[in-house]
Chain A
Amino acid sequence: MYLSLKSDIRVDLDAVFAALSDPTRRDILKRLSQNDLSVKDIATDYDMSQPAISKHLKVLERAELIERRADGQSRLAALKADTMEGAVNWLREFEEFWTGSLDQLDVVLAGMPDPKESKS
Chain B
Amino acid sequence: MSDEAKFVMERVFDAPIENVWKAWTDPKYLAEWYGPGVDTIIHAFDLSPGGVWLNEMKGEAYSMRSKIIFQDVTPPSRLVWHNSMTDADWNIISNPNMPDWPTTMQMCVEFESKGDQTVMTLTWTPFQASDAERACFAGAVENLGKGWGAGMEMLAQVLADMGA
In contact, A4 and B97 (Cβ under 8 angstroms): yes
CB <8 Å contact, A6 and B142? no
Asked if A104 meets B33 with Cβ closer than 8 Å, knowing A14-B136, A26-B154, the reply is yes
Q: Which residue of A lies closest to B104 (CB)?
A: A1
Contact status of A103 and B36, CB under 8 A, knowing A17-B139, A88-B156, A91-B148: yes
Q: Tally chain B residues at the interface, Cβ within 8 Å.
A: 59
Task: Report the Cα distance A13→B66, complex, angstroms.
Answer: 21
A97: B residues at CB distance < 8 A: 35-36
Chain B binding surface SS class? mixed
8 Å CB interface, A69-120 against B: 79, 81, 84-85, 87-88, 90-91, 94-110, 112, 114-116
The answer to whether A48 has its CB under 8 Å from any CB of chain B is no
Asked if A30 CB lies within 8 Å of chain B CBs, one says yes
Contact with B along A7-48 (1 / 0, CB 8 A): 001100110011011000010011001100000000000000
Residues 119 to 164 of chain B near chain A (Cβ within 8 Å): 122, 132, 135-136, 138-140, 142-144, 148, 151-152, 154-159, 161-162
Contact in complex: B158, A1 (CB < 8 Å):
no
Interface string of B13-25 (1 = CB under 8 A from A): 1111011101100
Interface size class of A (residues with CB under 8 A): 35 or more
Set A18, A98, A109: member contacting B15, Cβ < 8 A:
A109
Measured between beta carbons, the chain A residues less than 8 angstroms from B14 are 106, 109-110
- Asked if B16 and A5 make an inter-chain contact with CB atoms under 8 angstroms apart, the answer reads no
Residues of chain A lying within 8 A (CB to CB) of residue B18: 115
Q: With an 8 A cutoff between CB atoms, is B64 at the interface?
A: yes
- CB-CB under 8 A from A91, the residues of chain B are 140, 143-144, 148, 151-152, 155
B17 to chain A, nearest CB (A): 9
A interface residues with partner B (beta carbon < 8 Å): 1, 3-6, 9-10, 13-14, 17-18, 20-21, 26, 29-30, 33-34, 79, 81, 84-85, 87-88, 90-91, 94-110, 112, 114-116
Name 30 A/B residue pairs within 8 A (Cβ), A-sorted. A3-B97, A4-B97, A5-B61, A6-B59, A10-B97, A14-B139, A17-B136, A18-B136, A20-B155, A21-B142, A21-B143, A26-B154, A30-B154, A33-B162, A34-B161, A84-B155, A85-B159, A91-B143, A94-B144, A97-B35, A97-B36, A102-B11, A104-B33, A105-B13, A105-B23, A106-B13, A108-B23, A108-B33, A110-B14, A112-B29
